[in-house]
Amino acid sequence: LFFRTLSGLWHFPSVTMSTSPLEMYMGACQKVGCKKNSYLLRTLPENVDGWPTLTEIDLNQNLVGRIGFQAVCDVIDPAYSLTRLCLANNGLDDTSMALLCPALDHHKKLTCLDLSGNPIRRKGGKMLLKLVKDVPSIQQLLLLNTLILPSLQNIINLRVTDNRQTYERPSSSGAVSLPLVDSTQRANITSSANPGGRSPKPPPLSSFEAYQNLCKVLQKPGHLETMCRKAFQKGDADASGELKFPEFVVATNDICEALSVPAPTAGDLKNIFHVVDTDGTG
């Protein structure tokens, strides 16, 4: 744990290893009592100095299962050069995510993670949300055909989008802080939070057009209330009955998008949230 903490803080990609990736994998298989995967036996570097060359592990067509994945995690943990990790269709669940996320939380080069087709649920989804926050190099996280709620997937995807935009448009401080909003509305927020950004601001609706759109909705009894209720349920990822600020931003922007009216600015969203959140609990 001490070594992992230091490596996460200072990132030692060239730490001297006494065991090759292949030897480590074979030893881990023996430890957990699982069958060795033929693909990994063929592709993992045999030499101790092969760790920097281990940039990709693709198990999409090579089922290892939950037990075999424990051995794979032993290799993933010190593989600091990984840029792409595909673990699709391997029967991984929330317990597997409890192994994977700590193994990746100190990686600095990983850009693509594919977990599609695995029975990952809400608990695992929350771990992945924390992972993409802690590892901003992750710019693509595939979660197709998992059991994670669409609302939680939406929040994860928005965070990954933030990661991509941070790398594409760094500020003078080296980071960009943006609220979690739908990509179709992001340009409006970006223009106020980062005026020097390269993303063009879409042409805004005129006040008259926005007024017309709103009137059409208000003419239908209960329609606006229904829209708000659906947006709240979508934003309430953990079904707690409360919305924290990131979820509030998603819900607010969903409503604005449905009404075809401009989304509030980042500053306005914060002010609105503080007014609505009277007791400070969300």
All structural domains of the chain: 2-148 (3.80.10.10), 186-276 (no CATH)
CB atoms within 10 A of CB 223: 12
Taking only the tens of pLDDT, the chain with its 282 residues reads: 333 433 343 343 434 468 999 999 999 999 999 999 999 999 999 999 999 999 999 998 889 989 999 999 999 999 999 999 999 999 999 999 999 999 999 999 999 999 999 999 999 999 999 999 999 999 999 999 999 999 999 999 999 999 988 876 544 344 333 333 333 333 333 333 344 444 444 444 444 555 555 565 555 666 666 777 777 777 776 666 677 777 777 777 777 777 666 667 776 777 777 766 666 665
Q: Cα–Cα distances in Å, from 224 out to 35, 235, 238, 268?
A: 57, 16, 24, 21
Distance, CA of 22 to CA of 40 (rounded, Å):
8
Comparing CA positions, the residue from 83, 24, 28, 23 lying closest to residue 52 is 83
Residue given tokens 């390269």 in the structure block: 198
Comparing CA positions, the residue from 68, 104, 106, 66 lying closest to residue 85 is 104
Residue given tokens 């230091």 in the structure block: 6
Which phi and psi angles does 86 have, rounded to 5°? -110, 115
Q: What is the pTM of this model?
A: 0.56
Comparing CA positions, the residue from 203, 175, 174 lying closest to residue 191 is 203
